[in-house]
Amino acid sequence: MKTIFLMICLIWAGQLSIAQEFKKVSYPEGFTEQLNLVYTTVNDWEGKLDLYLPPSQKKGSPLVINIHGGGWNKGVKESQTGFSAFFNRGYAVANIEYRLTGTATAPAAVEDTRCALIYLIRNAKKFHIDVNRIVIMGSSAGGHLALMGGLLENNPIFDSNCPGVKNIKVAAIIDKFGITDVWDWAYGPYKTSTSATSWLGDKAKDQEFAKSVSPLYQVKKNSPPTFIVHGDADPIVPYQESVALKARYDELDVKCEFMTVKGGLHGKFSKEDDEELTRRIMAFLDSTGL
């Protein structure tokens, strides 16, 4: 009995620690929140998202779907805050979680990203979301997932858990120093990442599979406009990954803006660079009609 009580106390303490570790998302008056909405269920795992909604707009709100990083092996949606620039423009924000490597290897995280996108499209009327103004955004591994979620468009290859929606699209992608070539990140000349090989799991030596989950190979002539930012001194995800992606967009003449942060590390930018990044992202969205 004492053992059971101790286990309950430890679980409660762990949950309390998580709750205290992250700041609550702050949003303007009139916004509402819906936390831990279940967007998909896989076996005994529930995929959840937090949704922050502005006051109802006649034609529906634009939406940004945000995806946390962590090498696909760590991170939680609660770590993601700082959406003021979007809230001030009347955007709804969806913070999503996905299966990490310890729960399921590739392509699970891509499947979950797609399911979250499909869930939000399917429930757009319920949440007063404009399906023609959806932006998908992420950092690091989240940048990779944002790219995959948006670039796949109507390709259902990773949608088996969430069938039923045929017109799947986003208006823009925001990629913050994301992995663009998983094989290169695992075995390339700039970095050999165990996060990549761990995520690939039993497909770690399958180069064709690695390509199938790599944004670099998903870009098409009609791909969504994309904003890329990367620090040129990034020690985690090589800057060259984003250089290669920008070259692919340019080759296919797809709208893409690439911001290089001089001396920028892995998301560790100066206050001035962060402010410039926000300004340029918003200007980019304006240029796409968002």
Task: Give the pLDDT confidence of 164-221 residue by residue, as tens digits.
Answer: 888 999 999 999 999 999 999 999 999 899 999 999 999 999 999 999 999 999 999 9
Residue percentage of the chain with pLDDT more than 70: 93
Average per-residue pLDDT in the chain?
93
Per the CB < 8 A criterion, the answer to whether 147 and 178 are in contact is yes
122 closest CA partner among 62, 66, 162: 162
Residue 76: is it exposed, middle or buried by C-beta count within 10 angstroms (0-12/13-18/19+)? middle
- pLDDT tens by residue, 22-72: 889 999 999 999 999 999 999 999 999 999 999 987 789 999 999 999 999
The rounded Cα 32 to chain-centroid distance in angstroms is 22
| Rounded CA separation 77/81 (Å) | 9
**Region 80-95: what's the mean pLDDT?**
96
